[in-house]
Amino acid sequence: MDRNMKQKSPHKLSNIIQFNPTERLAKGTVAKKVPMEYLQPFTRAISDYETAEYSGGSKFRNGDTLMARITPCLENGKTAYVSILDDGEVGFGSTEYIVFRNIEGVTDSKFVYYFVTSPWFREIAIKSMVGSSGRQRVQQSVLENLEVNLPPLEEQRRIAGILGSLDDKIELNRRINANLEAQAQALFRSWFVDNETQNNNPGFFNDIIQTTLSGDWGQETPKGNYISEVYCIRGADIPDIKCGDKGKLPTRYILEKNLKNKKLSENDLVVEISGGSPTQSTGRICLITRALLDRLGKDVICTNFCRALKPIPDYSFFIYLYWQYLYNNNTMFSYENGTTGIKNLNITDFINKEPIIIPEKKKILEFNKVLQPFFDMIYKNGRESEYLSALRDTLLPKLMTGEIAIE
């Protein structure tokens, strides 16, 4: 940390923050479980949890911070503050977490979370990673031995309070948007599922999809003919985009000929086709809106672990909500294949074989008019959250280093 921080003295990090604190949880005990997929990129709150029998993994309590220690989860910003448990309750999760806990009277638990998410700390953690390609992990000893300057406890609390107020509003916007999405889903079911025999035709997704586009990853920097600069949507970005946020899309460089064939347009849909977990299928989906493209300001593609769908005109909302309805009902599990550790969605089979109902165009146009205000509000809230996230990310290092003083 910055040597100019006033009233701060250097400490070995393991002396002021506990790493993987010991907790008792007998094997076979039913407890709340937080798999890696429930940590959203650069998001304080844990999105969900499961109830399962404990058989191993990291253990934690409310007030702890969970940080992914493995690539690409760490680089993608998977770090969260635990607040889903009851007082005294112990939860568990992935073996690929490092659990951080404050020391009473020395460090504030929420300050610890913001310290762990600070650019300075993340950069050191990422640079410390070792191991084979695709399975690199943070060297915990490097973090434990860091020498850091620590603000007084009251100042820690004030710093966490400022940053926390921004995250509180971001989380409120996410809850509002989740409610808006749930209302949109309810309207979809009311219009098309509960009354599926009314003026609807049987068919398949492929009947209302013009084409599919493969993804690309290109190069990290311009190299040879890889000169077309693009944003690339990954599976990890889909939850942010669904919430109306533009996410933290990486910039890549691809071949010009590939850009022509893979560039995303308004009303396209992006589907994650590789990834998932035993409890989460592949097939997460997001809608590419004009608002999103305007905010990004340059060409967009999806990664090669995703696939883009180009619907026929006016059917984007319908496909998006129908797809999400089937995803929520675990339909995609039956279209998956792959080896242990990664699953692949057979999207060709899914869009050609999964039976759906297809409404007449007149009904689709009426439905779109009803749905549009919901999505407008989602993206309005997302834009506000995006601004608040940027403000938080700007303030975080300045507050941590003392560049901005708190009286």
pLDDT the model gives residue 47: 86
pLDDT the model gives residue 1: 44
Does position 389 have pLDDT exceeding 50, yes or no? Answer: yes
Does position 4 have pLDDT exceeding 50, yes or no? Answer: no
Classified as helix, coil or strand, 398 is helix
Nearest to 335 by CA among 234, 235, 204, 231: 204
- Taking residues 232-238, report their average pLDDT: 92
- State residue 37 phi and psi, 5-degree precision: -70, -10
CATH architecture of 178-372: Alpha-Beta Complex (3.90)
- Taking residues 376-402, report their average pLDDT: 91
Does position 226 have pLDDT exceeding 70, yes or no? Answer: yes
Q: Would you say the pTM of this structure is higher than 0.75?
A: yes
Distance, C-alpha 165 to centroid of its chain: 21
pLDDT the model gives residue 199: 64
Q: pLDDT tens, 347-365?
A: 999 999 999 999 999 999 9
| pLDDT cut 90: percent of the chain above it | 81
pLDDT band at residue 2 using 50, 70 and 90 as cut-offs:
very low
Q: pLDDT tens, 241-280?
A: 988 888 789 999 999 999 999 999 999 999 999 987 777 8
Residues 60/23, Cβ–Cβ less than 8 Å: yes
Residues 336/348, Cβ–Cβ less than 8 Å: no
pLDDT the model gives residue 246: 82
Q: pLDDT tens, 79-90?
A: 999 999 999 999
Does position 119 have pLDDT exceeding 80, yes or no? Answer: yes
Q: pLDDT tens, 196-205?
A: 556 678 999 9
pLDDT band at residue 96 using 50, 70 and 90 as cut-offs:
very high
Domain spans, the chain: 9-150, 178-372
Options 3.90.1150.10, 3.30.360.10, 3.90.220.20, 3.40.50.920; which CATH number does 9-150 get? 3.90.220.20
pLDDT the model gives residue 194: 85
Q: Do domains 9-150 and 178-372 have the same CATH topology?
A: yes
Mean pLDDT, the chain, rounded, equals 92
Task: Give the CA angle between residues 340, 342, 347 to the nearest 5°.
Answer: 125
